[in-house]
Amino acid sequence: MFRRSLRTLGLSAAMALASGCTHAPVTTTSKFLSEPLVTHLYTADPAAHAFAGRLYVYPSHDIDAGVTDRTDGNHYAMRDYHILSMGAVGGPVKDHGVALKIEDVPWAGRQLWAPDAAHANGRYYLFFPARDKADVFRIGVATSDSPAGPFTPEASPLEGAFSIDPAVYGDDDGAFYLYFGGLAGGQLQRWPGNTYTPAAPVPQGEEPEAAPRVARLRPDLLGLAEPAREIQLLDPAGKILVGGDEARRFFESCWMHKHAGTYYFTYSTGTTHLICYATGHSPYGPFTYRGVLLKPVQGWTTHQSVVRFKGKWYLFYHDSQLSGKSNLRNVKVTELHHLPDGTIEAIDPFLTP
């Protein structure tokens, strides 16, 4: 199934960034640490989970829509989801086909961006962002009897959830939490105080960052059990990270995992191309910045998930190795190591010469 690549890649020298972004994509002539999981379609934003003895990956599906506008993310024109699975990391990867498409979602207008999944109540849940008919990003949920889908969406988006990049975390006590948010094209800045304010700007300078959100889900996972809360991300001195701190402040790509009793909130800084992590003692936070989890990959974005499978921890992420284009990406995986002091060993996505 995966013998034929989308194209043979010759790494591009330097890609000019169109209007709307202030930092250029990362390019390289180095060798990659990991290879794409699949090469027959473009995949990004991998959410990995161990279900029923297999590792399932819920990525977004990049397509080349011929759109060049980068100011609001229109060049990320994803329209459906394919679910991947494998019995072992490094083993054969199965594409289970289309699990959900934009035409299936009654309330959605366009752009099925980064999803996530959960298993509870004997069913599987797919959480996904999409722009509604008014072009505002909402978060929806769909259900299935199989981790591979197909998924049937609810008729309406989740009330009280908004923006992009939903991530679902199931805690040891059986409670599930939904994390979400993404700046700029992801519209998080438009929701100060959880009220939609279209003209609200992205925080700059010493202004407190636009915080990601978290809310406990109802037992049926089809709605929020409480109003969404802002997540406090703190520097080591205990101060809230500010908008101008682009190497540490939140931009997008929420993920939560727990190791040795500590909650690890990981996220992307966006413009500085880093995946960072912060730790806390509650799924609500606050979380204190600890360092870089993944150094910059080739391309503009990356988006991570962290999963334990068969006794090892793995980091899933994406880059643009197959295409050399920032909006046509491919999913990868590498092993992740927690250190005895509670930190995580930083991962370089390129091999040291």
User: Which tokens hold the place of 272?
Assistant: 């500085």
- Would you call 209 a catalytic residue per the annotation? no
Instruction: Report the SS3 class of residue 233.
Output: strand
CB 130 within 8 A of CB 113: yes
Return phi, psi of residue 194, to 5°.
65, 20
User: Which tokens hold the place of 153?
Assistant: 């969406």
CB atoms within 10 A of CB 137: 25
Instruction: Report the SS3 class of residue 104.
Output: helix
User: Which tokens hold the place of 89?
Assistant: 């990391």
Rg (CA), the chain: 19
SS (H, E, C) 183-203: CHHHCHHHCHHHCCCCCCCCC
Active-site residue identified among 45, 209, 230, 319: 45
Q: Nearest Cα to 69, choosing from 135, 18, 136, 23?
A: 18
CB 336 within 8 A of CB 344: yes
Active-site residue identified among 104, 252, 319, 348: 252
- Would you call 345 a catalytic residue per the annotation? no
User: For residue 67, what are the CA distances in angstroms to 73, 82, 269, 328?
Assistant: 10, 22, 24, 12
Q: Which residues are catalytic?
A: 45, 252
